[in-house]
């Protein structure tokens, strides 16, 4: 009986040590010339803060950021392309999936022009597909068959 209690205690302690050791830095922030790794990211209107494991932080201007990862989501600065295949601007897009040379990014936008946050605004997702790093196709969220072909679950 004493042996089994000791064995169970040692197992629980070893699992606890693994859980503490497995707490790697899972967030990063990339600018044109630097890469910052940390525990958490706080995105603001003009600055983004990366928080290090020791509690210190670094602020970076949002205009300088080219990519970042916040736990399990990756965002990259990509071109926003309108219906006529004109590049409008660059915006942060969420990386959805990659397979066979195709990468799918999601851009979330509002149906109407706005300057301030309004809870009444209707947001929609536009998906951009890139093949080998070059623009391939734009897919609206109501085009369910096209979304399914790139492996995006439609609810």
29 band by pLDDT with thresholds 50, 70 and 90: very high
pLDDT at 90: 85
* In the predicted structure, residue 139 carries a pLDDT above the cut 60: yes
State the SS3 of 3-72: HHHHHHHHHHHHHHHHHHHCCCCCEEEEECCCEEEECEEEECCCEEEEECCCCCEEEEEHHHEEEEEECC
6 band by pLDDT with thresholds 50, 70 and 90: very low
Architecture of domain 24-71: Roll (2.30)
pLDDT at 19: 47
pLDDT at 18: 45
Average pLDDT along the chain: 79
Domain boundaries, the chain: 24-71, 73-149
* In the predicted structure, residue 93 carries a pLDDT above the cut 50: yes
| Burial (CB count <10 Å: 0-12, 13-18, 19+), residue 141 | middle
Sign of the torsion angle spanned by Cα atoms 18, 19, 21, 22: positive
40-88 residue pLDDT tens: 999 898 999 999 999 899 999 999 999 999 988 999 998 888 776 677 7
pLDDT at 102: 87
Give per-residue burial for 45-55: e unless 16+ CB within 10 Å, then b: eeebebbeeee
Give the tokens for residue 25.
């830095």
* In the predicted structure, residue 20 carries a pLDDT above the cut 90: no
The DSSP letter of residue 125 is E
pLDDT at 75: 93
97-124 residue pLDDT tens: 888 888 899 988 776 554 555 666 677 8
């Amino acid at each position: 009986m004493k042996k089994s209690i000791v064995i169970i205690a040692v197992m629980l302690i070893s699992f606890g040590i693994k859980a503490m050791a497995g707490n790697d830095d899972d967030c990063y922030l990339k600018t044109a010339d630097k890469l910052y790794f940390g525990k958490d990211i706080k995105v603001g209107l003009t600055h983004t803060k990366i928080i290090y494991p020791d509690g210190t932080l670094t602020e970076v201007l949002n205009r300088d950021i080219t990519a970042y990862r916040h736990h399990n989501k990756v965002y990259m600065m990509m071109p926003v392309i309108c219906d006529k295949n004109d590049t409008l601007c660059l915006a942060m897009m969420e990386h959805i999936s990659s397979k066979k040379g195709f990468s799918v990014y999601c851009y979330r936008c509002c149906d109407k022009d706005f300057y301030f946050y309004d809870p009444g605004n209707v947001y929609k997702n536009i998906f951009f597909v890139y093949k080998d790093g070059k623009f391939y196709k734009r897919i609206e969220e109501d085009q369910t068959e096209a979304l399914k072909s790139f492996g995006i679950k439609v609810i």
